Copies of this chain bind each other. A is one copy, B any other.
Amino acid sequence: MSAQFLQLQDIFIRTKEAAQSFMKILEPTIENAKEEHERLYFHHIYEEEEHRLDRLESVIPKLEYFLQNMDGQHTNNHEFVKLLQDVSLEKFGLHNFLEHLDLALFQFKSTEHENTLQGLRDLTYNDYQKSKELLQVLNDQFDGAANSAASIPTDEKEGINEHLKIEKYTTESPASRSSEPIGKPAKRLTVGSLKTKKEII
């Protein structure tokens, strides 16, 4: 399973750097926020990504350990099973990051950060899809040990009211890669949009 772990290691290191770039964009927005609601909103997303960074910093060395110690890769090894579950949690983390980036793309539209955010978004979309494939391979190999009910986002759950899902996250079609609403004209939004964003930054 070294091939899968090597790819996961790449994804985790890449998304760690992406999260740090994202947080750098958010920092002045939090610091210069003129309203408590705006400040809480960006602080909240920043904090969640910092939390994810802490988790990634914890899981990456464990991944590296099992890359060096392949003998330990079996389901009787509690530490290995724990790693598989941690990897599963980070799959959800990538989905969550994707939504953070899409929310930011609404708010930073037409600012100097738009291109960077779109790049991070595209990277994260691809890495999320890849992480799902890798988890599937690991689950097949290790009797479902990497499977976690708590790693499936609402968008991909069965038996959920479809109106609560976001279409672009439920499919893997090329169209779903766009950050723009599908079939609707692109327009500026009232909720959460920062009309004064250019002045703030």
Known contacts A35-B189, A58-B149, A154-B46; is-contact A102 B166 (Cβ 8 Å) = no
Within 8 A of B (CB), among A162-191: 163-166, 181, 184, 187, 189-191
Would B37 and A106 count as touching, CB distance under 8 A? yes
| Interface flag for A82 (CB, 8 Å) | yes
A95 to chain B, nearest CB (A): 8
What distance in Å separates the Cβ of A86 from its nearest Cβ neighbour in chain B?
10
Is residue A62 within 8 Å, beta carbon to beta carbon, of the partner chain? no
A17 in the interface (beta carbon within 8 A)? no
Q: Are A27 and B164 in contact (CB under 8 A)?
A: yes
Contacting pair A96 B40 (CB below 8 A):
no
Q: Could you list 21 examples of A-B contacts with CB < 8 Å?
A: A35-B189, A36-B189, A37-B106, A37-B192, A37-B193, A40-B99, A41-B191, A41-B192, A44-B96, A47-B99, A47-B155, A48-B48, A48-B96, A51-B150, A51-B153, A55-B150, A58-B149, A78-B78, A78-B79, A190-B195, A190-B196
